[in-house]
Chain A
Amino acid sequence: MTTATIPRPLSFAGAPPSAWAFGVRIWVAVVAALAASFWLELEAPASAAVTVAILAVPTRGGALDKARFRLAATIIGVTAAIVIVALFSQTRDLMLAVFAAWVGLCVCAAGLLDGNHAYAAVLSGYTVALIAIQQLDAPEHVFESGMARGAAIAVGVAAIAVVNDLLAAPDSFPQLASQLVALHRGVRDYAKPVLRDEATDAGTAAGLLRDIAALRPEIASLATESASGSIRRAAARSTAVALVAAVHAARALKAVVAATNPAMDDMIAASAHSPASAWASRESLRRISEVREGLAALNAGHRPLCVWRMPLYRSRAIAAAAGLRAAACLVLASGFFVLAGWPSAEVSLSLVALVIGLGAVSPNPQGFTVAAFIAAPIAAVLAGTLEFLILDGVTEFPLLALALAPFVIGAMVAATRPHPMVASLGRLNLIFILVILSPSNPQSYNANSFLFVVLFLCTGIGLLLAAETLIPPESNERRQRWIMASVRRDFELVLSKRDRRLAPEEAMFRDAARIGQIPASGASHRDSAVLAQALSYFDRAAAIRLGRDSVARLAETSLSHLAAEAEEALATQDTQRLRDVSLALMHVAGAGSALAEEISGELTLAAIVIDAARHAASPAMEAVS
């Protein structure tokens, strides 16, 4: 008998070596950014260090992509700050109102975007706070302040880019490829119950679609990583789109097996009995092979055979509500500071805008504010320890660099932990420690200003938390209603052929992204019903688009009259008529037309999917209404 031992993964203090390497990289980058800023005698060296903390992403491509957007958004933010100050510097209250409106607009724009695009939108908003609002009493210095911040950000970006390159930060694509492989496995597992005719639940399908659509921002950031980055991005996009199409194919197969013979428990036996089943299983295998081709192209850095885009879906209503709420929270906080009449309250207000902005791009904005509220006092204690106990008046740069090491590395190791709260606390702590410490040359070691900054930070975040409690976000039910209204509206456009000109697979991906936006855990009866209804529309829209795409090939042939009839049947979801057209095509196929046989199979499949989706939607409709 032989025994095998499973080697334990290497770890130190509970964290893997990759997390420690990430921490060390960020520490080196922070030190390099500070050294360069001090050497160049920049006015805001702390901004360079904070830039590194904000761009702290474990992969090289992710950090470079974020840096690109950070530079662009800073230019937009500085321009907006100059315009706002030029127009409203004489009317403080009006300027604060315009500033709140600008931040609201930026949060709304972030709601319509994703990934680093959304981050750039909120950064454009809070840059105005850091430049215009912090110079509220000295508007003539806005330009210099903007230039100083821009220079510091450029130094921070250069520092993290060079350090990531020299210290061999991992590339994004191997990690992304492994995520896509895991999803591929998930899709095949989802298809397995179909083969055995077991019940598949809407939650599993919606979860898969949500996970696939959630990779969109990571895929977009592949382009900056290497010379072949844009090719790899195209391959990853095609793989993700093919995965969504594979989920649809698996659901279509399930519908066909159920429709062909409900008692049949073997898909292969079913396929022998029906041309639609044979077509559905062939379609499913084709989608799986498309995923495999995409993965191979991603790993090899080759252009994929099918190049698909990944259209984004965002609810305008949800984005507008988030923007209005952000503006209202900022107006409440500004009103409080104006009434309180505290000196230097603009520092606190700019921190409120920063937390609103960063919260808007996090999955749970309210949770982010709570994390910031917890992180602020922890960061204050840590920054105080660093400044007054460890450094305590030293002026040598190497000592500052050494003293920063445990704080930066510890925070970054915490940021890589799987628990979302611990990860948020780690990331926020590093940003807050650098903001409170505000490294400068020479360091002032002024306890008075330290206490003021801590007080402003804690007051600002506490005030924001109070404002967010007073103005709660819209409920999950309302969000579900808004998204379902958009689903129905878009489905009407599909029926009337007025939808966006996208390939059927691309449109499927957009629908999958919308399903991913539905706030539903699937635990409650209502959540399951909403997901079932959304999936029903997803299936029908995909079947109609694929059906249209295939009958379009008959347009220039002698069977164009059948193509027109099939088009009408698809537009009215008349499944009986679709079956009749399919039969007519089968007769032609008997005369040796392979194309007619293929399209006949596709139309029968579309009819079965539409019937099954309608059948699944009717109880869900009752449950939701």
Chain B
Amino acid sequence: MHSFSELVVGDVFVAPFVVYAVAALAIFFALRPILRLCGFDKLFSNPAVAQLSLYVAILGLLTVAF
């Protein structure tokens, strides 16, 4: 069973999901220049939904992997 550990910042417990959400956001923004070079926006009819899906995929992968 996968266990989730809380982040403790000065006696304040931060929920594991918050850490995953922020990490996924950081990875997503780091990937943006690469997406631009790949022409990501032109590959989809609705790039906004495609980007949201990518973010959710990264978040899911992080949650499963760590």
Contacts and interface: CB of A to CB of B under 8 A. Distances in A.
Contacts of A230: 36
B49 A166 contact: yes
Nearest to A64: B48
Contacts of B49: 165-166
Contact of A231 (B36, B48, B51): B36
A87 interface: no
Interface in A217-267: 226-228, 230-231
A427 interface: no
B3 interface: no
Contacts of A228: 36, 41
A227 B52 contact: no
Contacts of B40: 227
B28 to A, nearest CB: 10
Interface string B31-48: 010011000110000111
Interface residues of A, number: 14
B66 to A, nearest CB: 21
A236 to B, nearest CB: 16
A71 to B, nearest CB: 11
Overall SS of chain B's interface? helix
Interface string B44-66: 00111101100000000000000
Nearest to B54: A227
Given A60-B48, A165-B48, A227-B40, 19 more contacts: A162-B52, A164-B48, A165-B49, A165-B51, A166-B49, A166-B52, A168-B46, A169-B48, A171-B48, A226-B47, A226-B48, A226-B51, A227-B35, A227-B36, A227-B47, A227-B51, A228-B36, A230-B36, A231-B36
Interface in A168-223: 168-169, 171
A311 interface: no
Contacts of A171: 48
A417 to B, nearest CB: 27
Interface of B: 32, 35-36, 40-41, 46-49, 51-52
Contact of B41 (A166, A168, A169, A226): A226
A301 interface: yes
Looking at A162, A226, A227, A230, the one whose CB has the most chain B CB atoms below 10 A away is A227
A168 B52 CA distance: 12
Contacts of B41: 226-228, 301
Interface of A: 60, 162, 164-166, 168-169, 171, 226-228, 230-231, 301
Contacts of A169: 48
Contacts of B32: 227
B45 to A, nearest CB: 10
A556 B34 CA distance: 41
Contacts of B52: 162, 165-166
Nearest to A225: B48
Contacts of A60: 48
A225 to B, nearest CB: 9
A535 B38 CA distance: 45
A158 to B, nearest CB: 8
Nearest to B53: A165
B32 to A, nearest CB: 5
Interface pairs A-B: 4 shortest CB-CB: A227-B35, A165-B48, A165-B52, A227-B36
Looking at A171, A228, A301, the one whose CB has the most chain B CB atoms below 10 A away is A228
A166 B47 CA distance: 11
A228 B36 CA distance: 6
A231 B35 CA distance: 13
27 contacts: A60-B48, A162-B52, A164-B48, A165-B49, A165-B51, A165-B52, A166-B49, A166-B52, A168-B46, A168-B48, A169-B48, A171-B48, A226-B41, A226-B47, A226-B51, A227-B32, A227-B35, A227-B36, A227-B40, A227-B41, A227-B47, A227-B51, A228-B36, A228-B41, A230-B36, A231-B36, A301-B41
